[in-house]
Structure 1
């Protein structure tokens, strides 16, 4: 819970500190500007709120690792992705995006702090404990924090403990460890296809290279 809150707070703080011109810069998500990514974070916050108030009676079918599916790389044709771009444009002023994220995001953060970790919740036609659900979202927040600052070299990076946790979770998803020479940030960027490995890095990856990138959905 604490790691969820710290990662989410750091990401929301990074958004709050953006300059207006930063919203028109590209993000680390292919085809999305920073404003599109921030709009996506608003949707994510709504998902957290909805999930935490959707109790389930059946046994868990997923955990923090199996919550994630490996999907095809986005092509830009997905209707929801296209909707987010249109919705982000409709905000017109960056401060409106900041306001909405702070409003909904703060509520999601409070809901996470109050949640019973053992409570079973339903989302995406699956069941998992709220503890596992929130743990899975540490990876979401950390990756999107990296996406947010991809072209903003002066912006604050995600919390170190969030990077460590997210790397460990991604390694469990991959079923293999990244080379110890890789920083946590590079393991996440390369592992999810956000950065192409150099020839030397590709050699270090060995058999794991064939599994990459891991596009999570």
Structure 2
């Protein structure tokens, strides 16, 4: 397991900040805004909120699903399974879109997301970060699971606010976890001039690399997006 800096926030705290920041956006949305497009191709706001609801629910279940098996993923290697343009990714987009459409009013989906996310945060605060838990066919330390949940929520926070310029931004500590995760997948740190939000978007295929960025990355540029 990777060692964390003694000054780094605990994974449960980072998850809390990530989910609270995302919830601050969701809380203020109305039904009309729920139909706005997001940074996820083919998804409106309500589709993305449903996807994040499912992820919070998965996290809640995983935190209560201890495993006796050996750890086979950590907060970085977990993402190796999530490559863009796969059949699974396409099916997931379709499933979220159809499922989100079953909510007649956005406030029903919004309230379900908010209560589920709050329950996940509470479960994370009470969990031993070293305990092994199972999710999606893998075993992780609970702390690493929390980090993956925070990373996903933070990247989708950026997606969610694409057409909501007045919405509050992601948590700085969660953005730092996104950066650490991307550095881990890349195998090195990118130039400091890339701010956390831009790095998150560029390294996951949300925005194209500039020519200068490609030159700075060299042969590693062909490896992006690192996940999507």
1:205 matches 2:217: yes
Q: Does the 8 A contact of 1:60 with 1:129 survive in 2?
A: yes
Gap change, CA 1:17 and 1:28, over 3 Å in 2: same
SS of match in other structure, 1:78: helix
Worse-matched range after superposition: 199-208 or 137-146: 199-208
Residue aligning to 2:165: 153
4+ long deviations beyond 6 Å = none
Of the three residues 16, 26, 44, the one matched with 1:15 is: 26
1:110 matches 2:115: no
Of the three residues 150, 153, 161, the one matched with 1:141 is: 153
TM-aligned CA deviation for residue 40 of structure 1: 0.5
User: What 5-or-longer segments of structure 2 have no aligned partner?
Assistant: 1-11
Matches of 1:75 and 1:14 in 2, distance apart?
A: 30
**TM-score, length of structure 1 as denominator length:** 0.93
RMSD: 1.7
SS of match in other structure, 2:37: coil
User: What 5-or-longer segments of structure 1 have no aligned partner?
Assistant: none
1:46 matches 2:57: yes
Aligned length: 216
**TM-score, length of structure 2 as denominator length:** 0.89
1:67 matches 2:78: yes
1:194-217 deviations in Å (ceiling 9; x for gaps):
01122233333322211111224x
